[in-house]
Structure 1
Amino acid sequence: MPVSSQHKVYLPASARDNQYLLAEFALSDELVARYPASSTEAPYLALYQALSQKLFELADQFGLRNVHLIANGKTPVVRFHQEAYVLQTAEQILFFYNPSYHEAQHSFYDAKVRARKISLLFLATEQPLRSNAAAFHQQVTTLLTELRNRLALAELKIKVRDHQHLTYDLFAKAKGSKESYGYKLRSIDARYKARQAELPAHSALTYVIVNLPLSRRLKEQVKLDLHSSSPYLPLYQHIADHFVSACQQEKLQHLAVLANGLLPLVRNSQFDKSSQGTELQMIGFDPSAKQGQLVSDLQGDKLVEMMQLIIFATPDDQTDLGYGRFMNEVESALRRFAKAVNLQPERDDLTVRFHQHISYHN
């Protein structure tokens, strides 16, 4: 393979792109005191309405067309969809949208409850997203500076997270999607510098999450004893063993295999501890762990619809050109894994999501 090809991964033209920024700050006593309760039934209504109004006025001023205020403690999850939906569960707010044409402004809060923090969600809308990512980031950070000024809170610390991901079916070509594009997958920092957008000191994460639906064909590969206390563990372990083996052959050693029905959130374990809720699971990886890591959570007492397979990139996986080589290794491992568990490219989906995150305090 030519050197230039080694550093490019060719993804199907049908790959879906998403970018969003999440800005969070603690709700201080000082800020609460500025908007006294107008009623005992909704003591925080004036506060949330005032913050929403300031946010949406600034969003209009800076040309940001899909912006939301979240003050109910729920975690936003953003996905591409041809139709716009916002769905809430006990722990999540799920935003489905198409960046090409969906615009919205919403506030989510309970006026009776004082939130621990305020989350501001900015969804990118300017296509092509990757080319416009730096400009979008600058728009948001400029808005945040002006918001801090209007709130007259010079010392307000705002945590900013820039999330970007590409999603595609590994078997898209077998299903008829022949066109593809080459990506070097440069780091966010490198892409922004190329567009004269300097980032402050920040932490960065790059990883891949693979969604594997458990089809009947997969389930039938392992004989299960439904009378045991963990009847599905042999199935999960069978899949996990093939996945880990395929990755190890590509020297991919920072892995997670999950079969618990939870949505994984990947974090740097140097800053965030692993945790688990009723819907979400925070997975911590240490990029500096040279010996590799394997996180396994296989709940053999229940049958899940889908397993999640995670491959975490380390600094060694980033070249001067980007993560193209890393993704070629990931794809090689996944194709070897797919063959080992007898997936059928024409019929089965193996959804791959390439994530890049940065975070810092503004």
Structure 2
Amino acid sequence: MSLSHQQKVYVPKDVRSNQYITAEIKVTDALLAHYPDYKTCYQTLSRTIFNLAEQEELYNLHVITNDKLPVVRFHAEAYCFPTAEQIIFFYNPEYHEAQSLHSQDDYRARKIRVVFLATGEDIRSNSASFHIKVQHFLAKLMPQLPEKNLTIKIRDHQHLSYDLFAHAKGNKESYGYKLRSISDRYTARDCPLPEGHGSLCYVTVKLPLSRKLKQAFLPEQATDFSPLYQKLEDAFVQATSAKQLKQIAMVANGLTPLVRNSKYDQVDGTDEVQMLGFDPNVEEQQYIRHWAGDHLAEMVSFTIAAGVKDCKGGGLGRFLNRAEEALKSLTSELALDKSREELIVRFHQHISYQAPEELIS
């Protein structure tokens, strides 16, 4: 097989592409001093943000002032589900637009988080222009705020999602991606990023613990679920090791996995979120496991993170191909019915950076 072919990834033609960008503005005493109370602060700032967004042709954005974590997924209908710690947005970028404030009047936010959801078609092809548009928005927003010495952290989240078993269901049309890092794509489209920006690439899948799986690996009326988890763990570790994939995690504790670069971000968990910290610069094995034999989860989440070397040149294509092969090996070991079951692969690319002075001054 040619090197060029190895660098390409062939995914089902109905692959879905998502992008959203968050701008996190740290809330300070100096900022709050300009308003009589929290409610007035949040409402006034959100009006300024929404008015400017309309002028800048940003048509789907949310202002979060209750410190809840945004999670974005594709759906044919638009929904917003808040939990104690998260706000889950479902939307179709081709059709849905929104301007919403998610707030708690008597709560002092640690940060005001503006979430920009990409809209239109060809999301991945237009990702750099969307990022530039958000940068221009922030450059115009900051002078309109009453406090000038504010810090902003920008996070750009992109992912492709598709069914690993699409071919077995008769969906034989595919599309070839020559994957590149976000920084390489943005540089080619005149969207330079600060040198100190962080980046992270990884693959996730969620495997429902079906009745068939439980019956295969657990005795009847089992109260210790360790044999099931251990089987899944052993199969996952073996499959990824065979493809030289060293940064992996298995979570089966009912929490939502959240991947971060452990070199830059805190990785403490919460009541809803299981933080997974990988350092892409480390070449040694990094295996994270979170499960307990006395708790039966509804599903198991598997994560495979890319190292620094995987993200250079055409390495991301080879990385995703190896991750796919490992997942196919895992599912074959578990004898899943590919014609009936669905296993959604999500390939994530993230970048983050502190907004430079020239952007926000």
TM-score normalized by structure 1? 0.95
Question: Aligned residue for 2:18?
Answer: 18
| Distance in structure 2 (CA, Å) of the matches to 1:223 and 1:186 | 43
Q: Establish whether residue 233 from structure 1 lines up as the match of residue 221 from structure 2.
A: no
Please show how residues 278-357 of structure 1 align to structure 2 within 5 Å.
Answer: 278-357=271-350
Please show how residues 51-130 of structure 1 align to structure 2 within 5 Å.
Answer: 51-130=45-124
**1:189 counterpart SS class:** helix
Of 280-289 and 85-94, more deviation after overlay is shown by 280-289
Please show how residues 267-286 of structure 1 align to structure 2 within 5 Å.
Answer: 267-286=260-279
Q: Are the counterparts in 2 of residues 184 and 322 from structure 1 also a CA contact under 8 Å?
A: no
Aligned letter for 1:74?
Answer: K
Aligned letter for 1:360?
Answer: Y
Q: Are the counterparts in 1 of residues 267 and 275 from structure 2 also a CA contact under 8 Å?
A: yes
| Distance in structure 2 (CA, Å) of the matches to 1:252 and 1:225 | 35
* Cα-to-partner distance string for 1:310-335 (whole Å, 9 max, x where unaligned): 00000121241251111111111111
**1:129 counterpart SS class:** coil
How far 1:154 sits from its partner (Å)? 3.5
Question: Aligned residue for 2:190?
Answer: 196
Question: Aligned residue for 2:208?
Answer: 213
Aligned letter for 1:67?
Answer: L
How far 1:28 sits from its partner (Å)? 1.2
How far 1:234 sits from its partner (Å)? 1.1
* Cα-to-partner distance string for 1:32-57 (whole Å, 9 max, x where unaligned): 11111xxxxxx322111110111001
**1:130 counterpart SS class:** coil
| Distance in structure 1 (CA, Å) of the matches to 2:4 and 2:282 | 29
31, 38, 41: which one aligns with 1:47: 41
**1:166 counterpart SS class:** strand
| Distance in structure 2 (CA, Å) of the matches to 1:180 and 1:283 | 32
How far 1:349 sits from its partner (Å)? 1.4
Aligned letter for 2:134?
Answer: V
| Distance in structure 2 (CA, Å) of the matches to 1:232 and 1:347 | 25
217, 228, 234: which one aligns with 1:222: 217
How far 1:20 sits from its partner (Å)? 0.2
Of 1-10 and 74-83, more deviation after overlay is shown by 1-10
Unaligned runs of 5+ in 1: 37-42
| Distance in structure 2 (CA, Å) of the matches to 1:194 and 1:34 | 42
Question: Aligned residue for 1:187?
Answer: 181
Q: Are the counterparts in 1 of residues 81 and 89 from structure 2 also a CA contact under 8 Å?
A: yes
Aligned letter for 2:207?
Answer: L
Question: Aligned residue for 1:258?
Answer: 251
How far 1:87 sits from its partner (Å)? 0.7
**1:131 counterpart SS class:** coil
Aligned letter for 2:80?
Answer: V
Q: Are the counterparts in 2 of residues 254 and 285 from structure 1 also a CA contact under 8 Å?
A: yes
Distance 1:272 1:348, change over 3 A: same
Percent sequence identity over aligned pairs: 51
**2:99 counterpart SS class:** strand
| Distance in structure 2 (CA, Å) of the matches to 1:203 and 1:283 | 16
**2:290 counterpart SS class:** strand
Unaligned runs of 5+ in 2: 356-361
How far 1:227 sits from its partner (Å)? 5.8
Aligned letter for 1:105?
Answer: Q
| Distance in structure 2 (CA, Å) of the matches to 1:237 and 1:275 | 24
Aligned letter for 1:148?
Answer: M
Q: Are the counterparts in 2 of residues 187 and 322 from structure 1 also a CA contact under 8 Å?
A: no
Question: Aligned residue for 1:39?
Answer: none
| Distance in structure 1 (CA, Å) of the matches to 2:270 and 2:294 | 18
Q: Are the counterparts in 1 of residues 17 and 159 from structure 2 also a CA contact under 8 Å?
A: yes
Q: Are the counterparts in 2 of residues 224 and 235 from structure 1 also a CA contact under 8 Å?
A: no
**1:221 counterpart SS class:** helix
Q: Are the counterparts in 2 of residues 167 and 353 from structure 1 also a CA contact under 8 Å?
A: yes
How far 1:31 sits from its partner (Å)? 1.4
Aligned letter for 1:70?
Answer: I
Q: Establish whether residue 148 from structure 1 lines up as the match of residue 145 from structure 2.
A: no
| Distance in structure 2 (CA, Å) of the matches to 1:142 and 1:155 | 18
Aligned letter for 1:213?
Answer: P
How far 1:88 sits from its partner (Å)? 0.5
Backbone CA RMSD of aligned residues: 1.3
Of 312-321 and 190-199, more deviation after overlay is shown by 312-321
Q: Are the counterparts in 1 of residues 30 and 147 from structure 2 also a CA contact under 8 Å?
A: no
How far 1:223 sits from its partner (Å)? 2.8
**1:274 counterpart SS class:** coil
Aligned letter for 1:203?
Answer: G
Q: Are the counterparts in 1 of residues 218 and 225 from structure 2 also a CA contact under 8 Å?
A: no
| Distance in structure 2 (CA, Å) of the matches to 1:319 and 1:359 | 18
How far 1:226 sits from its partner (Å)? 4.6
| Distance in structure 2 (CA, Å) of the matches to 1:227 and 1:166 | 37
Of 257-266 and 26-35, more deviation after overlay is shown by 26-35
